[in-house]
Amino acid sequence: MRYLPLTDADRAAMLEVIGASGVDQLFVDVPEAARLEEPLDLPPHQGEIEVSRALEALAARNRPAAGGVSFLGAGAYRHHVPAAVDSLIQRGEFLTSYTPYQPEISQGTLQYLFEFQTQVALVTGMEIANASLYDGASAAAEAVLMARRIARGRPGVLLSGGLHPHWAETVATFLRFSEAALERAPLDPAGADDLAARITEETACVVVQNPDVFGHLRDLSALAEACRAKGALLIVCVAEPVSLGAVEPPGAMGADIVAGEGQGIGNGLNFGGPYLGLLATRERLVRQMPGRVSGETVDAEGRRGYVLTLSAREQHIRREKATSNICTNSGLCALAFTIHLALLGEAGLKRLALINHHRAVTLADRLGAIARVEVLNETFFNELTVRLPLPAAPLVEDLAGRGIFAGVPGSRLWPGEAGAERLLILAATEMNTGEEIETLARALEGALA
């Protein structure tokens, strides 16, 4: 009864207060077809010790990326996180703070959010950023909703074939009950989809990822011009934030909105979360940006202080005027991002990015030397795609059993898509050594022999 403390007498008293004859009366509005006819097939209740043992046994089945030679990527990247990051974010004043409902007494929180926003704006080449969103996928979806508010009356949303499929599905889910006309360009492992030709006067926005899910890097300047010519907005998604230390930032190529995933800086893989979404834009569009913006000001005595400059959510303003229903930002993850990037500095981020690229070049050269392995990328940052002569998924499973995480098979991201089963996406970061690259290559050579 520890977790279900109510007695029959308690339940009877509660039903009497609300005037219900029995528990069944509480569910009269639920259609019969939606009601369970028998209990769910779940294990019976157990004591705390037994539950702990069961959960520990499940946890022991996990294979963490650090437990082997790992070339996993495709939207979540293993980078070194300095010990100082975890040490600082675990301070009580950071770890226990939730959200600045009373900004005037949350100066520390507002200050690091202000610094986070400044960092994101600088690395993306944009003019202003918000205080973070939940993750990259929802940031992309929020960017699309933002673009549709700006481009009133235009239903068209065009997604690149190189956009991560999970991000594309999230966008589709957000738009499911809207009047948007969602168009997805075909799957494009070669990185050559011609999005400009698909833009019309009905297009509200074009969503492209750089580097894309296959690792291709593109100059988006011409696409940005094509968007402007048709009155559409260009949304650039960044799944690997470390790339911004070496790659031309989206803002410099003409992006109107940048949506990104910040996990790669300051945050571990964490079995898929929590992560943090990045969103940056042009100052002229800031009124339609979701989330919150921390701003710098001075108090009555002329001292520097911080405020919530924008917080256009339904909790603060009339619901019909809100730009988002986001209830908070990923504060602690954003702080980790801020601390790590501050430790790196501009020169350190550039050096880290170049190390990542060098590792990927080494990987591409070595894999390209293997018979019947085709490297699809001419350009890349730290991630690339190869085409194998046989389905990638069984091979990946076999190598994982030997402690080598060879990458993400295309069939996992695009199940049932023709040709995807032979694609393998691999990422190399500063955590990968030359010896690990050689270990992977020799394992692939043996498997394909």
> For the chain, what is the mean pLDDT?
93
> Residues 222, 196: contact at Cβ < 8 Å?
yes
Average pLDDT score over residue span 112-138: 96
> Residues 288, 322: contact at Cβ < 8 Å?
no
Q: How far is CA 77 from the centre of its chain?
A: 11
CA dist., res. 287 & res. 185, Å (int): 30
CA 303, 309, 310 angle in degrees (round to 5)? Answer: 170
Q: Residues for the chain: how many in total? A: 449
Res 311: pLDDT: 74
Q: What is the DSSP string of 31-51?
A: -GGGS-SS--S-PPP--HHHH
Type of residue numbered 35: R
Residue 47 reports pLDDT greater than 90? no
Bridge pairing between strands 233-238 and 203-209: parallel
Of 412, 413, 405, 409, the residue nearest 422 (C-alpha): 409
Residue 398 reports pLDDT greater than 90? yes
CA dist., res. 131 & res. 110, Å (int): 9
CA dist., res. 106 & res. 432, Å (int): 40
- Ordered by where they begin, the domains of the chain are 68-79+345-448 (3.90.1150.10), 83-341 (3.40.640.10)
Q: How far is CA 52 from CA 61, 271, 318, in A?
A: 15, 19, 46
DSSP structural state of residue 311 = E
Of 223, 256, 264, the residue nearest 381 (C-alpha): 264
pLDDT interval class at 197 (50, 70, 90): very high
- HSE (side-chain half, CA atoms, 13 Å) at 350: 5
Predicted confidence (pLDDT) per residue in 219-250, tens digit = 999 999 999 999 999 999 999 999 999 999 99
CB-count exposure of residue 342 (10 Å: 0-12, 13-18, 19+): middle
CA dist., res. 101 & res. 321, Å (int): 19
pLDDT interval class at 67 (50, 70, 90): confident
**What value does the CA radius of gyration of the chain take, rounded to a whole number of Å?**
25
Of 110, 91, 85, 111, the residue nearest 99 (C-alpha): 110
Helix residue ranges per DSSP H, 317-420:
331-368, 392-400, 410-413
Res 192: pLDDT: 79
CA dist., res. 183 & res. 206, Å (int): 10
pTM score: 0.89
